[in-house]
A and B are shown apart, each in its own frame.
Chain A
Amino acid sequence: MYRYEGEDVFVIDSHLHMWDATEENIIHEGGEQFIQCFYDYHTAFTPEEEQWSLEEYRKYGADRMMQDLFGSAAVDMGIFQPTYLTDFYDEGFNTAEQNAELAEAYPERFVLNGTFDPRDGEEGLQYLEELNDKYDLQGVKLYTAEWRGESKGWRLDSEESFRFLEKCAELGIRNIHPHKGPTIRPLNRDAFDVADVDDAATSFPELNFVVEHVGLPRLDDFCWIAAQEPNVYGGLAVAAPMAVHRPRKFGEIMGELLFWLGEDRLLFGSDYALWNPDWLVDVVMNAELTDEQRDEYGVELDLETKKKIMGENAAELYDIDIEEKKREFQSDAVTEEFGLGDHYESSPAPADD
């Protein structure tokens, strides 16, 4: 468990991937462009000494991922968000099935999200049900800019999409995570436009819409929608690593998010392996607003707020009982493997013991 000034912070990384962008898996030039674009973001927002080579970045595998998440106790739990891109990658880039390798090995530590694509019609509905039967889904990650044959994307507020959202509601899949963020080459910028979240969120008040990447570069549209739709949340993947080289800008963005959404509707996510929680959690926990920003926005980014953002808000959405988890993690497989026992003892032994 991460410790900040003597206090425990239970971290749920709400945005994880285990991807395969090896050359053997790439079947379309878009696949190569996509991973290179990811790599540009990786290097732009990662401290130099933490940067990976492109070869490491293409495929890192389960062991490395476990080490990065739990080796230095940066993260307590994680949520897998799949990104299929099956037009670009033979076996998919990061599918629920691929992520299941770890999620099923350590079910107490991971939440496994599914996905749907309304362009798949009946077959797609069936696949969603299958995923739900298999993994008992609580959430889906949606990639509205994904290419499918001639189509370069789809809208969350379309009639076809609503059929799938209805199915989610029926199956008890409450958390909908649309990627609404930076354009990833070669995908179309407009297919990431956050505007379609508005109608979907109004039409499905029983579902939660966690907008990944807080709509950047349309933070303004996102905040305005979220201010009016209480079931819209912000996923901080991409925004969080701005704290590395652009702390002032990070503070400003957090100021806006806290002003418009409040502290209960923001979720930390590393977007691993875009960025690594191994160092990112520490950077975000140490980020501060300037006095000027505090005055301007009338909000605080204090420890209580950070605890919500780093874990408590995700726990709320995914029915995770943090105290219960702490007890469970005193002796689970991950704790054994990484020697984390001390982290979950209810009262740490005195220093001079």
Chain B
Amino acid sequence: MSTNSHGDGVTEAQVRERLDRVTDPELDTSIVELEYVDEVRIDGGTVEVAFTLPTAWCSPAFAWMMATDARDEVEALSGVTRATVELREHMHDAEINRGVNERRSFGEAFPDADGDVEPVRAELDEKARIARQHDATGALLDAGLDGAQIASVTRDDVVIGADRARVWLRGGSLAVAVDADPLERYLDKARATGLLDDDHPELFRTPEGEPITPAAFETVRHRTRLAGVNMSGQGSVCDALHESRRAEDRPPLSMRSD
């Protein structure tokens, strides 16, 4: 596919593929999959993404993260010179759209906010890492590894291929192959939370970020399962609110202000 710096080659499919990397931070699910994206408008090298969240009162910090991530992901496409967002029907849509499109900081857009958006993002990234660890270690358990082996896997032991990942054991004398996706997804969040370059070589950790002792492996598995259930549970709440908001006979009550 050819694109050029004047940007007349970018397609909606490319933009959506890029947007698929943006997650609702509380649910750790793509905003494309969640059907938040209403519209993509392309005009030469300029792209505008319109999106709506499940409720008008979703956390402004979460809305801000999704809006800035969408903007930055789309702008990273070659051929796009400028990306803007249009958050719709949110109690703070004006502040968020202006702030994100004028490249202001969260603090500038919301002078009254208690804190910046970064600590919130860090907390949710950590939860997403824990939930993703459940899937990654689950894949390794299915492949026949035991808890002690999984606890000792280091970053260097994992080689990601196109569809399959290889995990080396016993100092490189044995490798098992598993589906690459859960490991790759885990690595992304392990990187985002700084685990790949801290003092411990172990890839998998307790929710607190410590290496896992073999005795604690089972409890950590239960805790990572719980993190996933929490996220998908909140996803169900958002989904139900989303459906109810979009019901045909439903007046847009949440937007009414007296």
Q: Which residues of A contact B (CB under 8 A)?
A: 23, 26, 29, 32-33, 36-37, 39-41, 43-45, 54, 152, 182-183, 185-186, 188-190, 216-220, 223-224, 242, 245-246, 249, 252-253, 255-256, 259-260, 296
Contact = CB atoms under 8 A, between A and B. Distances in A.
B243 interface: yes
B5 interface: no
B227 interface: yes
B57 A37 contact: yes
Contacts, number: 95
Contact of A253 (B57, B59, B127, B229): B229
B230 A219 contact: yes
B257 interface: yes
Given A37-B57, A188-B114, A224-B223, A245 B240 contact: yes
A253 B244 contact: no
B245 interface: yes
11 contacts: A32-B257, A36-B256, A37-B55, A40-B55, A40-B245, A43-B244, A182-B237, A183-B57, A217-B26, A219-B233, A246-B236
B91 interface: yes
B250 interface: yes
B211 to A, nearest CB: 19
Contacts of B55: 37, 40, 185
A218 B230 CA distance: 7
A54 B253 contact: yes
B72 to A, nearest CB: 24
Interface residues of B, number: 34
B127 A220 contact: yes
Interface string B231-258: 0111011001101110100100110111
Contacts of B253: 36, 39-40, 54
Contacts of A245: 240
Contact of B114 (A33, A152, A220, A242): A152
Contacts of A44: 237, 240-241, 243-244
Contacts of B237: 44, 182, 216-217, 242
Nearest to A23: B258
B141 interface: no
Given A36-B256, A54-B253, A220 B240 contact: no
Contacts of B170: none
A contact patch SS: helix
A41 B241 contact: yes
B226 interface: yes
Given A186-B57, A223-B226, A252 B233 contact: yes
Nearest to B247: A43
Contacts of A220: 127, 130, 223, 226-227, 229-230
Contacts of B114: 152, 188, 190
B233 A217 contact: yes
A194 to B, nearest CB: 11
A255 B55 CA distance: 28
A249 B236 CA distance: 7
A29 B257 contact: yes
A216 B57 contact: no
Residue among A23, A54, A186, A249 with the most chain B CB within 10 A?
A249
B230 A45 contact: no
A189 B55 CA distance: 14
A215 to B, nearest CB: 9
Given A32-B256, A296-B225, 6 more contacts: A33-B257, A186-B91, A216-B234, A219-B230, A220-B229, A249-B233
Contact of A40 (B26, B222, B254): B254
Contacts of A33: 57, 91, 257
A223 B233 CA distance: 14
Contacts of A223: 226
